[in-house]
Amino acid sequence: PANTKSKVAFQLPEPVVTDITTVMGSWVTDKAYVKSGVAEIIAYDRDKGTKLWSVPLPGEVCSASRHMSKDFKTAIVFEETKATKANKYPSCNQVGVIDMTAGKLLWSKGVTSATGGDKPIRFDEVTLSGTTVAAGGTSGGAAFKLDDGAELWKPKVGADGCYDRGYAGGEALAVVRKCGTSDSPQLTVQALNPTTGAPLSSYQMPAGVDYASIVSTKPLVVAADVGDTAGDGSGISDFFSIDAATGKLIVRIPADAEQYAARCGSTEVERCQNLAVGNNRLYVPTENHDGTSEYGET
């Protein structure tokens, strides 16, 4: 670190739970450290660790964007209700925005499928790019305006059976679009217009890719396990650097799973860790390996 004399400012106790509970989401604003809890979002003073505010939710947080706007808003997906004996697994069908300056849930809503029906669909992930909140899952994707929740587009399956599997945000907005069957999927990565959802460019992933993760949207970098060759559950055998303006592959970078320690979620589009993109470079750590000393690993 830049300051080698840094120290822990404060520590917070883990929530007391009786079952597996999702508490995804962690952000730092100019004044607060904000963390999801058990069916709530809690803010703590960034310097002292004292509680500033909490936002109760009707159910558990299912997913949370890693991004936030310049005025400290972020997006979450949460369950429509708390679990009961009759309903042990409530649906993650509510998308909402947390205003981390005001300490409130700015808006929340569910979305029905464009193909009909009045039941809100489930979302697996949510992200944020500029003033657009985008949520995706196996039923397709939807997007909303950050400030008021107005729908920009809603889930729809094309005549070819294709749908938006999930989005990645940040400086730009991109999507993994899935076609074909579960036994023989065909994935396409698209750079999107964040206001309309219209594709700006498209790159078709090679055969043998069941899932793809977007590492970065600007520049556009994708990770995938091609042909299940990684062998370690990391979800990565190769990285793909794509020209977002044209959809052309710039370079494909093999990443030996036994040598490199980056990992991506098994099915999620924007859940990679232990890696970074910047300065026209991709940074990944190496796996632990035997050092030159008599004891220990490097």
Residue 276 lies in a domain: yes
Q: Does the residue 1 lie in any domain?
A: no
Token pair, residue 222, equals 């994708």
Backbone conformation region of residue 180, classed left if phi is above 0, alpha if psi is from -120 to 50, else beta: left
Given 113, 134, 156, the domain boundary residue is 156
Q: Nearest CA to 123 among 154, 77, 156, 158?
A: 77
Clarify whether residues 70 and 187 are in a common domain. Answer: no
One domain, residues 186 and 138:
no
Supply 99's token pair: 């205003």
Structural domain boundaries enclosing 204: 165-298
Whole-angstrom distance, CA of residue 35 vs CA of residue 33: 7
Q: Are residues 209 and 250 in the same domain?
A: yes
Q: Are 143 and 253 in a shared domain? A: no
Residue entry with tokens 């597996």: 20
Q: What is the pLDDT along the chain (298 residues), one digit of tens a residue?
A: 677 888 888 999 888 888 888 899 999 999 999 999 999 999 999 999 999 999 999 999 999 999 999 999 999 999 999 988 899 889 999 999 999 999 999 999 999 887 667 889 999 999 999 999 999 998 889 999 999 999 999 887 676 788 999 999 999 999 999 998 878 889 999 999 999 999 999 999 999 999 999 999 999 999 999 988 887 778 899 999 999 999 999 999 999 988 999 999 888 999 999 999 999 999 999 988 666 666 656 5
Contact 28, 8 (CB under 8 A): no
| Per-residue pLDDT tens digits for 95-112 | 999 999 999 999 999 998
Give the count of domains, the chain: 2
Same-domain check for residues 175 and 297? yes
Helix (H, G, I), strand (E, B) or coil at 97: strand
How many Å separate Cα 71 from the centre of its chain?
20
Sign of the CA dihedral with 81 first, then 84, 86, and 87 last:
positive
Tokens standing for 281? 């470079």
pLDDT for 282:
97
CATH (domain of 195): 2.40.10.480
Model confidence over 135-180: pLDDT tens digits? Answer: 999 888 999 999 999 999 988 767 678 899 999 999 999 999 999 8
Pair (145, 240) in one structural domain: no
| Domain final residue pick, 106, 122, 156 | 156
Q: What is the pLDDT of residue 20?
A: 85
297 to each of 156, 165, 260, 275, 285, how far by Cα in Å?
A: 50, 39, 15, 20, 14
200 and 80 co-located in one domain: no
Q: Residue 130: exposed, middle, or buried by beta-carbon count in 10 A (0-12, 13-18, 19+)?
A: middle
- One domain, residues 26 and 84: yes
